[in-house]
């Protein structure tokens, strides 16, 4: 049976938070730095939780398995998210084992992550709403491809 937090997250992702008792509908104003960081760098709730986990224990090395055990997620997905965080400079690989990474300090991001971690512990519904409000890049790309296939792209010279 899913935990209450998982039910609330699912309701927020589906845009149906009104069906879950105790989730406030009021609009929470997040600090601009935090909001911009989420909009620019966070693609999913799971990615956020993994990044916050790495940030909270910067000297520990993490693998997809260890993250999965900690956060109760799929190990293969966690390995993919860790690899992506590495490509974007938020994690550095272990030289001896490329599967293991640890948080890579980013001076420009550390302040936002500190604030984000504190806010997420108290106001996670607002942060999840913000993540879910972002346009999905894969859906946008698919929609653009369909538009271009139909002849509605910007480069359409058939006017």
Question: Which pTM was predicted?
Answer: 0.71
Residue 81, Cβ density class (10 Å: 0-12 exposed, 13-18 middle, ≥19 buried): buried
In a domain, 17, yes or no: no
Write out the DSSP string of 77-94. HHHHHHHHHHHTTSEEE-
pLDDT tens digits along 78-114: 999 999 999 999 999 887 777 799 999 888 889 999 9
In a domain, 4, yes or no: no
**Strand ranges, E, within the chain:** 91-93, 101-103
In a domain, 43, yes or no: yes
pLDDT tens digits along 43-56: 999 999 999 999 99
Residue 51, Cβ density class (10 Å: 0-12 exposed, 13-18 middle, ≥19 buried): buried
**For residue 51, what are the domain limits?**
29-149
What CATH number does residue 124 fall under? 1.10.10.10
The answer to whether residues 59 and 102 touch, using CB atoms and an 8 Å cutoff, is yes
pLDDT tens digits along 56-87: 999 999 999 999 999 999 999 999 999 999 99
């Amino acid at each position: 049976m899913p935990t209450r937090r998982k039910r609330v997250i699912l309701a927020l992702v589906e845009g149906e938070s009104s069906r879950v008792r105790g989730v406030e509908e009021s609009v929470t104003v997040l600090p601009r730095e935090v909001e911009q960081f989420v909009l620019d760098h966070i693609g999913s709730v799971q990615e956020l939780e993994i990044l916050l986990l790495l940030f909270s224990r910067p000297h520990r090395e993490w693998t997809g398995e260890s993250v999965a055990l900690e956060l109760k997620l799929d190990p293969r997905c966690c390995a993919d998210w860790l690899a992506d965080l590495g490509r974007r400079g938020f994690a550095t690989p272990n030289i001896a084992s490329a599967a293991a990474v640890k948080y890579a300090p980013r001076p420009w991001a550390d302040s936002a992550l500190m604030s984000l971690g504190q806010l997420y512990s108290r106001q996670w519904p607002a942060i999840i709403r913000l993540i879910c409000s972002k346009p999905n890049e894969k859906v946008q790309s698919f929609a653009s491809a369909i538009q271009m296939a139909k002849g509605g792209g910007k480069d359409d010279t058939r006017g």
